[in-house]
């Protein structure tokens, strides 16, 4: 026991080293589909982060846009221009740059919304599971009711009302925050239920009793002892939730309740191209659509793989 601690502190393995030795990394390398999804996801995230460096044009800068360049097709088609690799949209913006920035917005909203969901859900789920009794049944009843209303419905209604009362001008400035808040608040019950179920399973184990006997406070036991043991189900649902949040954001932007056309996310890009699909300019809708689908799909595939790896229930067959 003592030797163990000495050797580990002597080696002092870095986080990266520990990750490389982990069960997770090994099974990721073995699973081809998951590994490919992982690479694509990393690629998308880094491209999105580096968008200001990589994008050939700045779609937020009106002076770089020329309306005469509008609706140019991608380079492999006729009538295209070489400087617009994926063509241009109806306003003459370079589609590649707009997609890079759009993906940045979509990922930002998706991830922040899920962090908010996770925070709310963990707080509610931990207290419901740990304290039990009245608090538990009250909180879970609220979660049930909230779950019975679809997220999209709640989000549409809330955003519509805000848009109608703020006016479109002010609303477009606040759109990012509103989307994060609304998607974050609408989905917390998913986390609350998952955390509560794990807490119920953990709370009668000996280590919790031991911590209590040692006189630790409730919050220390909940956060320091029980919470770390609920992390794997949290990780599994987080992937699915990010995918869903990105889809929700895209749907809301498509309805005109999300990101404005001047700072497009993938959803508002698809929406702005939709009118032009009948006149044959398919690329304004199709290319951002494809990017969105691939982004969501790799996250879903990673989620499936995580569920298989982290859920011991599925080992049986």
Partner 1 sequence: MIAFLINRLFQAAIVMFVISLLSFSIQDNLGDPLRELIGQSVSEADRMELREELGLNDSFLTQYFRFAGKAIQGDLGTSYFFKEPALEVILKKLPATLELVFGATVLIIVISIPVGVYSAINPSSLFSKVAMGISIIGISVPVFLTAIISIYIFSVELGWLPSFGRGVTEHVFGTWETGFFNVDGLLHLLLPCLSLASIMLPLFIRLIRAEMMEVLQSEYIKFAWAKGLSPRRIWFMHALKNTMLPVITVGGVQIGTMVAYTILTETVFQWPGMGFLFLEAVNRVDTPLIVAYLIVVGAIFVITNTIVDLIYGLVNPTVKLVGEK
301 binds partner 1 (CB under 8 A): yes
170 binds partner 1 (CB under 8 A): no
Within 24-132, strands assigned E span none
Q: How many residues bind partner 1 (CB under 8 A)?
A: 40
153 binds partner 1 (CB under 8 A): yes
Please, what's the largest Cα pairwise distance for the chain?
77
CA atoms within 13 A on the CB side of 168: 6
Candidates 296, 302, 306, 309: give the one binding partner 1 (CB under 8 A).
296
Listed as own residue / partner, the contacts of 110-114 with beta carbons closer than 8 Å and 24 or more positions apart are: 110/242, 110/243, 110/245, 110/246, 110/249, 111/242, 111/245, 112/180, 112/184, 113/179, 113/180, 113/183, 113/184, 113/187, 113/245, 113/249, 114/184, 114/238, 114/241, 114/242, 114/245
Of the two residues 221 and 272, which places its CB atom closer to partner 1 in the complex? 272
Q: Are 49 and 108 in contact (CB under 8 A)?
A: no
Candidates 88, 91, 163, 241: give the one binding partner 1 (CB under 8 A).
163
Tokens read off for 142: 């609220």
Residue 39 CB-density burial (10 A; 0-12 exposed, 13-18 middle, 19+ buried): exposed
304 binds partner 1 (CB under 8 A): yes
Task: Name the segment binding partner 1 (CB under 8 A); options: 14-22, 44-52, 203-211, 278-286.
Answer: 278-286
247 binds partner 1 (CB under 8 A): yes
201 binds partner 1 (CB under 8 A): no
Candidates 251, 265, 268, 281: give the one binding partner 1 (CB under 8 A).
251
The SS3 assignment for 94 reads strand
Candidates 36, 161, 174, 201: give the one binding partner 1 (CB under 8 A).
161
211 binds partner 1 (CB under 8 A): no
Q: What are phi and psi of 94, to 5 degrees?
A: -65, 125
Task: Name the segment binding partner 1 (CB under 8 A); options: 49-57, 62-70, 71-79, 156-164.
Answer: 156-164
147 binds partner 1 (CB under 8 A): yes
141 binds partner 1 (CB under 8 A): yes
179 closest CA partner among 271, 122, 112, 269: 112
Interface residue list for partner 1 (CB under 8 A): 137, 141, 145, 147-150, 152-153, 156-157, 160-161, 163-165, 243, 247, 250-251, 254-256, 267, 270, 274, 277-278, 282, 285-286, 289, 292-293, 296-297, 300-301, 304, 317
């Amino acid at each position: 026991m003592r030797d163990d601690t000495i050797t580990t502190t002597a080696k002092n393995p870095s986080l990266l080293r520990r990750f490389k030795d982990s069960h997770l990394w090994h099974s990721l390398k073995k699973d081809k589909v998951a590994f490919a999804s992982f690479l694509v996801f990393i690629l998308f995230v880094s491209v999105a982060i580096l968008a200001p460096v990589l994008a050939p044009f700045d779609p937020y800068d009106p002076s770089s846009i020329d309306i005469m360049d509008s609706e140019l097709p991608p380079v492999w088609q006729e009538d295209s221009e070489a400087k617009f690799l994926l063509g241009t949209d109806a306003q003459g913006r370079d589609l590649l740059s707009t997609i890079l920035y759009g993906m940045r917005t979509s990922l930002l909203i998706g991830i922040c919304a899920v962090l908010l969901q996770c925070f709310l859900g963990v707080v509610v789920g931990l207290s419901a599971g740990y304290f039990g009794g009245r608090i538990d049944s009250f909180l879970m009843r609220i979660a049930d009711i909230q779950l019975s209303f679809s997220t999209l419905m709640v989000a549409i209604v809330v955003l519509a009302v805000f848009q109608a009362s703020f006016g479109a001008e002010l609303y477009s400035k606040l759109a990012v925050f509103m989307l994060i808040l609304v998607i974050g608040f609408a989905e917390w019950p998913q986390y609350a239920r998952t955390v509560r179920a794990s807490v119920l399973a953990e709370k009668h184990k000996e280590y919790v009793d031991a911590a209590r006997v040692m006189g630790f406070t409730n919050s220390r036991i909940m956060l320091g002892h029980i919470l770390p043991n609920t992390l794997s189900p949290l990780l599994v649902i987080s992937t699915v939730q990010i995918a869903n949040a990105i889809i929700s954001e895209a749907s809301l932007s498509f309805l005109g309740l999300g990101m404005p056309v001047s700072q497009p996310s993938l959803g508002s890009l698809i929406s702005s191209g939709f009118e032009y699909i009948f006149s044959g300019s398919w690329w304004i809708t199709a290319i951002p659509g494809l990017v969105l689908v691939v982004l969501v799909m790799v996250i879903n595939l990673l989620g499936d793989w995580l569920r298989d790896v982290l859920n011991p229930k599925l080992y049986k067959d």
